Structure 1
Protein backbone atom coordinates (compact mmCIF):
# COMPACT_ATOMS: atom_id res chain seq x y z
CA UNK A 1 0.00 0.00 0.00
CA UNK A 2 1.25 3.49 -0.83
CA UNK A 3 0.38 6.97 0.35
CA UNK A 4 0.02 10.32 -1.39
CA UNK A 5 2.17 13.07 0.12
CA UNK A 6 1.91 16.77 -0.75
CA UNK A 7 5.06 18.81 -0.02
CA UNK A 8 3.93 22.44 -0.09
CA UNK A 9 6.35 25.27 0.57
CA UNK A 10 7.38 28.87 0.12
CA UNK A 11 10.98 29.81 -0.52
CA UNK A 12 12.41 33.26 -1.20
CA UNK A 13 16.08 32.61 -1.87
CA UNK A 14 16.11 28.83 -2.35
CA UNK A 15 16.90 27.33 1.05
CA UNK A 16 13.42 26.04 1.80
CA UNK A 17 13.12 24.97 -1.84
CA UNK A 18 16.13 22.68 -1.34
CA UNK A 19 14.69 21.34 1.92
CA UNK A 20 11.35 20.69 0.23
CA UNK A 21 13.05 18.71 -2.53
CA UNK A 22 14.83 16.63 0.11
CA UNK A 23 11.58 16.00 2.03
CA UNK A 24 9.95 14.91 -1.23
CA UNK A 25 12.87 12.58 -2.00
CA UNK A 26 12.58 11.02 1.45
CA UNK A 27 8.85 10.46 1.11
CA UNK A 28 9.30 8.92 -2.34
CA UNK A 29 12.03 6.62 -1.05
CA UNK A 30 9.53 5.26 1.49
CA UNK A 31 7.15 4.37 -1.34
CA UNK A 32 4.91 7.43 -1.37
CA UNK A 33 3.51 9.19 -4.41
CA UNK A 34 4.61 12.79 -4.04
CA UNK A 35 3.50 16.19 -5.26
CA UNK A 36 6.07 18.95 -4.75
CA UNK A 37 4.31 22.31 -4.93
CA UNK A 38 5.38 25.90 -4.31
CA UNK A 39 2.89 28.53 -3.20
CA UNK A 40 2.43 31.77 -5.09
CA UNK A 41 4.80 34.69 -4.56
CA UNK A 42 3.04 37.74 -3.10
CA UNK A 43 5.91 40.21 -2.85
CA UNK A 44 6.10 42.95 -5.49
CA UNK A 45 8.93 42.93 -8.01
CA UNK A 46 10.32 46.12 -6.48
CA UNK A 47 10.92 44.26 -3.21
CA UNK A 48 12.29 41.10 -4.84
CA UNK A 49 14.71 43.14 -6.95
CA UNK A 50 16.36 44.50 -3.80
CA UNK A 51 17.77 41.05 -3.04
CA UNK A 52 19.75 39.44 -5.89
CA UNK A 53 19.33 35.93 -4.40
CA UNK A 54 15.59 36.41 -4.16
CA UNK A 55 15.40 37.62 -7.75
CA UNK A 56 17.52 34.72 -9.04
CA UNK A 57 15.41 32.13 -7.24
CA UNK A 58 12.13 33.73 -8.32
CA UNK A 59 13.24 33.70 -11.95
CA UNK A 60 14.54 30.12 -11.74
CA UNK A 61 11.31 28.68 -10.31
CA UNK A 62 8.62 30.43 -12.34
CA UNK A 63 7.89 27.22 -14.24
CA UNK A 64 7.30 25.11 -11.11
CA UNK A 65 3.75 24.02 -10.44
CA UNK A 66 1.93 26.18 -7.90
CA UNK A 67 0.04 24.64 -5.01
CA UNK A 68 -3.75 24.56 -5.01
CA UNK A 69 -6.29 23.44 -2.43
CA UNK A 70 -6.89 20.41 -4.65
CA UNK A 71 -3.41 19.22 -3.70
CA UNK A 72 -4.56 19.11 -0.07
CA UNK A 73 -7.69 17.18 -1.00
CA UNK A 74 -5.58 14.73 -3.03
CA UNK A 75 -3.01 14.03 -0.34
CA UNK A 76 -3.04 11.49 2.48
CA UNK A 77 -0.31 13.47 4.27
CA UNK A 78 1.23 16.94 4.11
CA UNK A 79 4.63 18.55 4.63
CA UNK A 80 4.75 22.34 4.85
CA UNK A 81 7.91 24.42 4.51
CA UNK A 82 8.54 28.10 5.07
CA UNK A 83 11.34 30.46 6.04
CA UNK A 84 10.81 31.97 9.45
CA UNK A 85 9.44 35.51 9.55
CA UNK A 86 9.78 36.94 13.05
CA UNK A 87 9.05 33.52 14.52
CA UNK A 88 6.05 32.89 12.27
CA UNK A 89 5.41 31.40 8.79
CA UNK A 90 5.91 33.56 5.73
CA UNK A 91 2.79 35.41 4.54
CA UNK A 92 2.92 33.53 1.24
CA UNK A 93 2.42 30.15 2.91
CA UNK A 94 -0.15 31.49 5.36
CA UNK A 95 -2.17 32.97 2.48
CA UNK A 96 -2.29 29.55 0.86
CA UNK A 97 -3.34 27.89 4.11
CA UNK A 98 -6.10 30.47 4.54
CA UNK A 99 -7.67 29.21 1.31
CA UNK A 100 -8.29 25.77 2.84
CA UNK A 101 -11.27 26.80 4.96
CA UNK A 102 -13.84 25.07 2.77
CA UNK A 103 -11.89 21.82 2.71
CA UNK A 104 -11.46 22.00 6.48
CA UNK A 105 -15.19 22.54 6.95
CA UNK A 106 -15.89 19.40 4.91
CA UNK A 107 -13.56 17.37 7.14
CA UNK A 108 -11.07 16.93 4.32
CA UNK A 109 -8.02 17.77 6.44
CA UNK A 110 -8.79 15.76 9.57
CA UNK A 111 -6.79 12.70 10.62
CA UNK A 112 -4.10 13.24 7.99
CA UNK A 113 -0.42 13.18 9.07
CA UNK A 114 1.38 16.51 8.74
CA UNK A 115 4.88 17.79 9.39
CA UNK A 116 6.69 21.11 8.97
CA UNK A 117 10.19 22.43 8.25
CA UNK A 118 11.82 25.84 8.09
CA UNK A 119 15.01 27.85 7.80
CA UNK A 120 16.48 30.97 9.32
CA UNK A 121 19.64 33.02 8.92
CA UNK A 122 20.57 32.63 12.60
CA UNK A 123 20.55 29.50 14.74
CA UNK A 124 18.17 31.17 17.20
CA UNK A 125 16.23 33.05 14.54
CA UNK A 126 12.75 31.78 15.39
CA UNK A 127 12.78 28.36 13.74
CA UNK A 128 11.10 26.45 16.56
CA UNK A 129 8.50 29.19 17.03
CA UNK A 130 7.69 29.07 13.32
CA UNK A 131 7.05 25.31 13.36
CA UNK A 132 5.03 25.58 16.58
CA UNK A 133 2.99 28.38 14.99
CA UNK A 134 2.12 26.09 12.10
CA UNK A 135 1.13 23.51 14.68
CA UNK A 136 -1.70 25.83 15.76
CA UNK A 137 -3.15 25.49 12.27
CA UNK A 138 -2.83 21.71 12.34
CA UNK A 139 -4.65 21.52 15.69
CA UNK A 140 -7.61 23.31 14.13
CA UNK A 141 -7.58 20.93 11.20
CA UNK A 142 -7.57 17.87 13.44
CA UNK A 143 -4.47 16.68 11.59
CA UNK A 144 -1.96 14.29 13.15
CA UNK A 145 1.33 16.08 13.72
CA UNK A 146 4.37 13.93 12.87
CA UNK A 147 7.57 15.55 14.19
CA UNK A 148 10.95 13.98 13.54
CA UNK A 149 11.57 13.88 17.28
CA UNK A 150 14.90 12.48 18.44
CA UNK A 151 14.34 9.29 16.46
CA UNK A 152 17.32 9.20 14.11
CA UNK A 153 20.97 10.31 14.11
CA UNK A 154 20.18 12.63 11.19
CA UNK A 155 18.16 14.83 13.55
CA UNK A 156 21.11 15.26 15.90
CA UNK A 157 23.54 15.91 13.05
CA UNK A 158 21.35 18.74 11.75
CA UNK A 159 21.29 20.58 15.08
CA UNK A 160 18.83 18.49 17.07
CA UNK A 161 15.48 20.16 16.40
CA UNK A 162 12.77 17.62 17.32
CA UNK A 163 9.97 19.82 15.95
CA UNK A 164 11.16 19.73 12.34
CA UNK A 165 14.16 20.40 10.15
CA UNK A 166 15.44 23.96 10.59
CA UNK A 167 18.31 24.88 8.33
CA UNK A 168 20.64 27.68 9.42
CA UNK A 169 21.97 29.60 6.46
CA UNK A 170 24.00 32.35 8.15
CA UNK A 171 27.68 32.31 9.15
CA UNK A 172 27.03 29.93 12.07
CA UNK A 173 24.98 27.49 10.01
CA UNK A 174 25.86 24.65 7.68
CA UNK A 175 24.26 26.38 4.67
CA UNK A 176 22.62 23.09 3.67
CA UNK A 177 25.93 21.26 3.38
CA UNK A 178 24.60 17.80 3.98
CA UNK A 179 23.21 17.58 7.49
CA UNK A 180 20.02 19.59 7.05
CA UNK A 181 19.21 17.91 3.76
CA UNK A 182 19.77 14.46 5.25
CA UNK A 183 17.45 15.36 8.13
CA UNK A 184 14.85 16.63 5.66
CA UNK A 185 14.98 13.34 3.74
CA UNK A 186 14.51 11.46 7.00
CA UNK A 187 11.57 13.67 7.95
CA UNK A 188 9.93 12.95 4.59
CA UNK A 189 10.48 9.21 5.08
CA UNK A 190 8.99 9.31 8.57
CA UNK A 191 5.92 11.20 7.34
CA UNK A 192 5.35 8.78 4.46
CA UNK A 193 5.82 5.68 6.62
CA UNK A 194 3.37 7.02 9.17
CA UNK A 195 0.80 7.72 6.46
CA UNK A 196 1.27 4.26 4.95
CA UNK A 197 0.76 2.59 8.34
CA UNK A 198 -2.41 4.58 8.98
CA UNK A 199 -3.80 3.73 5.56
CA UNK A 200 -2.98 0.05 6.06
CA UNK A 201 -4.76 0.08 9.41
CA UNK A 202 -7.89 1.70 8.00
CA UNK A 203 -7.89 -0.86 5.17
CA UNK A 204 -7.73 -3.76 7.64
CA UNK A 205 -10.56 -2.38 9.79
CA UNK A 206 -12.71 -1.52 6.78
CA UNK A 207 -12.88 2.21 7.57
CA UNK A 208 -11.76 5.14 5.45
CA UNK A 209 -9.59 6.62 8.18
CA UNK A 210 -11.48 9.93 8.27
CA UNK A 211 -12.75 9.52 11.83
CA UNK A 212 -14.01 12.83 13.16
CA UNK A 213 -13.69 14.28 9.68
CA UNK A 214 -16.67 12.13 8.64
CA UNK A 215 -18.61 13.30 11.67
CA UNK A 216 -18.00 16.92 10.72
CA UNK A 217 -18.97 16.30 7.11
CA UNK A 218 -22.21 14.62 8.21
CA UNK A 219 -23.30 17.56 10.35
CA UNK A 220 -25.75 20.12 8.97
CA UNK A 221 -24.00 22.58 6.68
CA UNK A 222 -22.93 25.79 8.35
CA UNK A 223 -21.66 29.02 6.90
CA UNK A 224 -17.88 29.30 7.04
CA UNK A 225 -17.14 32.38 9.12
CA UNK A 226 -14.19 34.56 8.31
CA UNK A 227 -12.94 37.79 9.79
Structure 2
Protein backbone atom coordinates (compact mmCIF):
# COMPACT_ATOMS: atom_id res chain seq x y z
CA UNK A 1 0.00 0.00 0.00
CA UNK A 2 1.34 3.43 -0.91
CA UNK A 3 1.68 6.33 1.51
CA UNK A 4 -1.28 8.03 -0.18
CA UNK A 5 -3.38 4.92 0.30
CA UNK A 6 -2.46 4.75 3.99
CA UNK A 7 -3.31 8.37 4.67
CA UNK A 8 -6.64 8.31 2.81
CA UNK A 9 -8.01 4.88 3.73
CA UNK A 10 -10.06 4.08 6.81
CA UNK A 11 -8.88 1.93 9.67
CA UNK A 12 -9.67 -1.76 9.22
CA UNK A 13 -10.68 -4.07 12.06
CA UNK A 14 -11.24 -7.81 12.09
CA UNK A 15 -13.46 -9.15 14.87
CA UNK A 16 -12.72 -12.86 15.14
CA UNK A 17 -14.60 -15.01 17.62
CA UNK A 18 -15.59 -18.49 18.66
CA UNK A 19 -18.99 -18.86 20.34
CA UNK A 20 -20.49 -22.04 21.74
CA UNK A 21 -23.95 -20.96 22.85
CA UNK A 22 -24.20 -17.35 21.73
CA UNK A 23 -22.72 -15.15 24.47
CA UNK A 24 -19.50 -14.35 22.63
CA UNK A 25 -21.45 -13.93 19.40
CA UNK A 26 -23.64 -11.27 21.00
CA UNK A 27 -20.58 -9.38 22.24
CA UNK A 28 -18.89 -9.68 18.85
CA UNK A 29 -21.93 -8.23 17.05
CA UNK A 30 -21.97 -5.30 19.49
CA UNK A 31 -18.29 -4.71 18.72
CA UNK A 32 -19.04 -4.82 14.98
CA UNK A 33 -21.80 -2.25 15.37
CA UNK A 34 -19.57 0.06 17.42
CA UNK A 35 -16.75 -0.20 14.90
CA UNK A 36 -19.06 0.55 11.98
CA UNK A 37 -20.33 3.69 13.72
CA UNK A 38 -16.77 5.05 13.85
CA UNK A 39 -16.47 4.68 10.08
CA UNK A 40 -14.01 1.81 10.23
CA UNK A 41 -14.00 -1.03 7.74
CA UNK A 42 -15.15 -4.13 9.61
CA UNK A 43 -14.90 -7.86 9.10
CA UNK A 44 -16.93 -10.01 11.50
CA UNK A 45 -15.65 -13.57 11.30
CA UNK A 46 -16.54 -16.68 13.27
CA UNK A 47 -14.18 -19.51 14.10
CA UNK A 48 -15.78 -22.74 13.02
CA UNK A 49 -16.29 -25.80 15.18
CA UNK A 50 -14.05 -28.70 14.27
CA UNK A 51 -16.48 -31.28 15.60
CA UNK A 52 -19.85 -32.19 14.11
CA UNK A 53 -21.59 -33.05 17.36
CA UNK A 54 -21.78 -31.67 20.88
CA UNK A 55 -18.85 -32.49 23.13
CA UNK A 56 -21.29 -32.99 26.00
CA UNK A 57 -24.42 -34.69 24.61
CA UNK A 58 -25.44 -35.78 28.10
CA UNK A 59 -26.08 -32.11 28.91
CA UNK A 60 -29.17 -31.97 26.73
CA UNK A 61 -30.15 -28.33 27.25
CA UNK A 62 -26.59 -27.13 26.62
CA UNK A 63 -26.43 -29.29 23.50
CA UNK A 64 -29.71 -27.88 22.19
CA UNK A 65 -28.46 -24.34 22.83
CA UNK A 66 -25.18 -25.17 21.08
CA UNK A 67 -27.09 -26.40 18.02
CA UNK A 68 -29.36 -23.35 18.08
CA UNK A 69 -26.37 -21.00 18.14
CA UNK A 70 -24.61 -22.94 15.36
CA UNK A 71 -27.66 -22.46 13.15
CA UNK A 72 -27.97 -18.78 14.05
CA UNK A 73 -24.40 -17.91 13.07
CA UNK A 74 -24.04 -20.24 10.08
CA UNK A 75 -24.19 -17.39 7.55
CA UNK A 76 -21.32 -15.45 9.13
CA UNK A 77 -18.09 -15.97 7.14
CA UNK A 78 -15.50 -18.28 8.64
CA UNK A 79 -12.27 -16.66 9.81
CA UNK A 80 -9.02 -17.18 7.91
CA UNK A 81 -5.50 -15.88 8.37
CA UNK A 82 -6.23 -13.40 5.58
CA UNK A 83 -8.65 -11.62 7.91
CA UNK A 84 -5.76 -11.02 10.31
CA UNK A 85 -3.42 -9.95 7.52
CA UNK A 86 -5.99 -7.47 6.16
CA UNK A 87 -6.67 -5.68 9.43
CA UNK A 88 -5.02 -2.77 11.22
CA UNK A 89 -6.75 -3.87 14.44
CA UNK A 90 -7.68 -7.37 15.59
CA UNK A 91 -10.27 -8.09 18.29
CA UNK A 92 -10.49 -11.74 19.29
CA UNK A 93 -13.04 -13.30 21.62
CA UNK A 94 -13.87 -16.72 22.96
CA UNK A 95 -15.32 -18.39 26.05
CA UNK A 96 -13.04 -19.50 28.84
CA UNK A 97 -12.41 -23.21 29.06
CA UNK A 98 -10.90 -23.93 32.49
CA UNK A 99 -9.14 -20.57 32.23
CA UNK A 100 -7.76 -21.36 28.79
CA UNK A 101 -8.48 -20.53 25.16
CA UNK A 102 -11.21 -22.81 23.72
CA UNK A 103 -9.89 -25.50 21.38
CA UNK A 104 -11.45 -24.21 18.12
CA UNK A 105 -9.98 -20.76 18.72
CA UNK A 106 -6.60 -22.25 19.62
CA UNK A 107 -6.71 -24.21 16.37
CA UNK A 108 -7.38 -21.01 14.42
CA UNK A 109 -4.46 -19.29 16.17
CA UNK A 110 -2.21 -22.18 15.14
CA UNK A 111 -3.28 -21.67 11.52
CA UNK A 112 -1.94 -18.11 11.69
CA UNK A 113 1.60 -19.39 12.25
CA UNK A 114 2.82 -18.81 8.64
CA UNK A 115 1.54 -15.22 8.74
CA UNK A 116 3.26 -14.63 12.05
CA UNK A 117 6.46 -16.27 10.82
CA UNK A 118 6.84 -13.67 8.07
CA UNK A 119 6.10 -10.80 10.45
CA UNK A 120 2.65 -10.17 9.05
CA UNK A 121 1.06 -9.53 12.45
CA UNK A 122 3.71 -7.27 13.95
CA UNK A 123 2.60 -3.79 14.94
CA UNK A 124 -1.13 -4.38 14.66
CA UNK A 125 -3.42 -3.25 17.48
CA UNK A 126 -4.92 -6.23 19.33
CA UNK A 127 -7.41 -6.79 22.12
CA UNK A 128 -9.54 -9.63 23.47
CA UNK A 129 -12.76 -10.47 25.28
CA UNK A 130 -14.35 -13.53 26.89
CA UNK A 131 -17.31 -15.06 28.70
CA UNK A 132 -17.42 -17.70 31.41
CA UNK A 133 -20.11 -19.57 33.29
CA UNK A 134 -19.28 -18.03 36.66
CA UNK A 135 -17.78 -14.72 37.91
CA UNK A 136 -14.53 -16.48 38.83
CA UNK A 137 -14.56 -19.01 36.02
CA UNK A 138 -11.20 -18.07 34.54
CA UNK A 139 -12.00 -14.82 32.76
CA UNK A 140 -8.68 -13.14 33.50
CA UNK A 141 -6.69 -16.28 32.72
CA UNK A 142 -8.41 -16.64 29.34
CA UNK A 143 -7.84 -12.98 28.44
CA UNK A 144 -4.20 -13.15 29.49
CA UNK A 145 -3.74 -16.32 27.44
CA UNK A 146 -4.98 -14.48 24.37
CA UNK A 147 -2.80 -11.48 25.21
CA UNK A 148 0.20 -13.81 25.47
CA UNK A 149 -0.51 -14.90 21.90
CA UNK A 150 -0.54 -11.23 20.92
CA UNK A 151 2.89 -10.82 22.50
CA UNK A 152 4.21 -13.64 20.30
CA UNK A 153 2.65 -11.95 17.28
CA UNK A 154 4.30 -8.61 18.08
CA UNK A 155 0.92 -6.96 18.51
CA UNK A 156 0.24 -3.71 20.34
CA UNK A 157 -2.18 -4.72 23.09
CA UNK A 158 -4.87 -2.17 23.89
CA UNK A 159 -6.97 -3.25 26.89
CA UNK A 160 -10.14 -1.43 27.90
CA UNK A 161 -8.68 -0.63 31.30
CA UNK A 162 -10.81 1.47 33.63
CA UNK A 163 -10.97 4.24 31.04
CA UNK A 164 -14.73 4.77 31.07
CA UNK A 165 -17.37 4.65 33.78
CA UNK A 166 -19.03 1.70 32.03
CA UNK A 167 -16.07 -0.46 32.98
CA UNK A 168 -17.01 -0.22 36.67
CA UNK A 169 -20.65 -1.24 36.17
CA UNK A 170 -21.60 -4.22 38.37
CA UNK A 171 -21.55 -6.72 35.49
CA UNK A 172 -18.20 -5.42 34.16
CA UNK A 173 -14.92 -4.66 35.91
CA UNK A 174 -12.27 -6.65 34.04
CA UNK A 175 -9.63 -4.14 32.85
CA UNK A 176 -7.81 -6.72 30.71
CA UNK A 177 -10.70 -7.35 28.30
CA UNK A 178 -14.47 -7.20 28.47
CA UNK A 179 -15.93 -10.28 30.14
CA UNK A 180 -19.48 -11.48 30.66
CA UNK A 181 -20.91 -14.14 32.93
CA UNK A 182 -23.04 -16.48 30.89
CA UNK A 183 -24.56 -18.31 33.81
CA UNK A 184 -24.40 -21.92 34.85
CA UNK A 185 -26.79 -23.29 32.26
CA UNK A 186 -27.48 -22.62 28.59
CA UNK A 187 -31.21 -22.58 27.86
CA UNK A 188 -32.54 -23.18 24.34
CA UNK A 189 -34.56 -20.27 23.00
CA UNK A 190 -32.92 -17.88 25.45
CA UNK A 191 -29.41 -17.61 24.07
CA UNK A 192 -27.12 -14.96 25.53
CA UNK A 193 -29.79 -13.55 27.81
CA UNK A 194 -27.21 -13.10 30.55
CA UNK A 195 -25.09 -10.73 28.44
CA UNK A 196 -26.04 -7.41 30.01
CA UNK A 197 -26.55 -4.04 28.36
CA UNK A 198 -23.54 -2.86 30.35
CA UNK A 199 -21.47 -5.70 28.86
CA UNK A 200 -22.51 -4.56 25.38
CA UNK A 201 -21.66 -0.95 26.17
CA UNK A 202 -18.28 -2.05 27.53
CA UNK A 203 -17.32 -4.01 24.41
CA UNK A 204 -18.34 -1.00 22.32
CA UNK A 205 -16.01 1.16 24.41
CA UNK A 206 -13.19 -1.37 24.08
CA UNK A 207 -13.66 -1.45 20.30
CA UNK A 208 -13.65 2.33 19.95
CA UNK A 209 -10.57 2.62 22.15
CA UNK A 210 -8.52 0.17 20.10
CA UNK A 211 -9.65 1.84 16.86
CA UNK A 212 -8.52 5.23 18.15
CA UNK A 213 -5.07 3.80 18.80
CA UNK A 214 -4.96 1.93 15.49
CA UNK A 215 -5.98 5.04 13.57
CA UNK A 216 -3.34 7.16 15.31
CA UNK A 217 -0.65 4.58 14.55
CA UNK A 218 -1.69 4.29 10.93
CA UNK A 219 -1.63 8.04 10.42
CA UNK A 220 1.67 8.36 12.27
CA UNK A 221 3.28 5.74 10.08
CA UNK A 222 2.01 7.53 6.99
CA UNK A 223 3.48 10.81 8.24
CA UNK A 224 6.83 9.13 8.91
CA UNK A 225 6.86 7.68 5.41
CA UNK A 226 6.30 11.17 3.96
CA UNK A 227 9.32 12.66 5.73
Per the normalisation by structure 1, the TM-score is 0.86
Report the Cα distance in structure 2 between the residues aligned to 1:116 and 1:21, rounded to whole angstroms.
Answer: 14
* 2: CA distance, partners of 1:174 / 1:18: 9
Structure 1 Cα separation of the partners of residues 212 and 176 of structure 2: 17
Q: Name the structure 2 match of 1:220.
A: none
Equivalence for 2:210: 191
**C-alpha spacing 1:151/1:174, structure 2 compared with 1 (3 Å):** farther
Q: Residues 186-224 of structure 1: CA distance to partner in whole angstroms, max 9, x if unpaired? A: 1111111111011011111117xxxxxxxxxxxxxxxxx
Kept after mapping to 2: 8 A contact 1:48/1:54: no
- Kept in 1: contact 2:13–2:43 (CA 8 A): yes
Is the CA contact (8 Å cut-off) linking 2:54 and 2:66 kept in structure 1? no
Aligned ranges 1:165-204 → 2 under 5 Å: 165-170=178-183, 175-204=194-223
Match of 2:174 in 1: 161
Q: Which moved more, 1:162-171 or 1:138-147?
A: 162-171
Unmatched 5+ residue regions in structure 1?
208-227
Q: Does 1:99 align with 2:111?
A: yes
Secondary structure at the counterpart of residue 88 of structure 1: coil
Determine the structure 2 residue equivalent to 1:217: none
- 1:122 Cα deviation from its structure 2 partner: 0.3
- In the alignment, structure 1 residue 27 sits paired with structure 2 residue 35: yes
Cα shift at 1:53: 0.6
Counterpart check, 1:142 vs 2:154:
yes
Aligned CA RMSD, in angstroms, stands at 1.7
- For 2:193 and 2:176, the matched residues in 1 are separated by 19
Residue 30 (structure 2) pairs with residue 17 (structure 1): no
Could you say if the C-alpha distance between residues 46 and 188 of structure 1 is closer, same or farther in structure 2, counting changes exceeding 3 Å? Answer: closer
Match of 1:36 among 35, 38, 44: 44
Q: Deviations over 1:113-137 (max 9, x none)?
A: 0000000110000001000011111
Matched residue SS, 2:95: strand
The Cα of 1:156 is off from its aligned counterpart by: 1.0
Contact 1:131 1:163 in 2 (8 A): yes
Report the secondary structure of 1:206's partner residue: helix
Instruction: Give matches, 1:70-81, under 5 Å.
Output: 70-81=82-93
Distance 2:75 2:162 in 1: 37
2:172–2:202 CA contact under 8 A, matched in 1: no
Alpha-carbon distance between aligned partners in 2 of 1:32 and 1:188, rounded to the nearest angstrom:
11
Any idea what the Cα deviations from partners look like across 1:2-55, whole Å, max 9, x if unmatched? 210000000010000000111112222222110000011123315375411101
Question: What CA distance in whole angstroms lies between the structure 2 residues aligned with 1:45 and 1:174?
Answer: 24
Q: Distance in 2 between matches of 1:59 and 1:10?
A: 14
Q: Residues 115 and 147 of structure 1 are in contact (CA less than 8 Å); yes or no, is this contact kept in structure 2? A: yes
State the 4+ residue runs in structure 1 displaced beyond 4 angstroms.
none
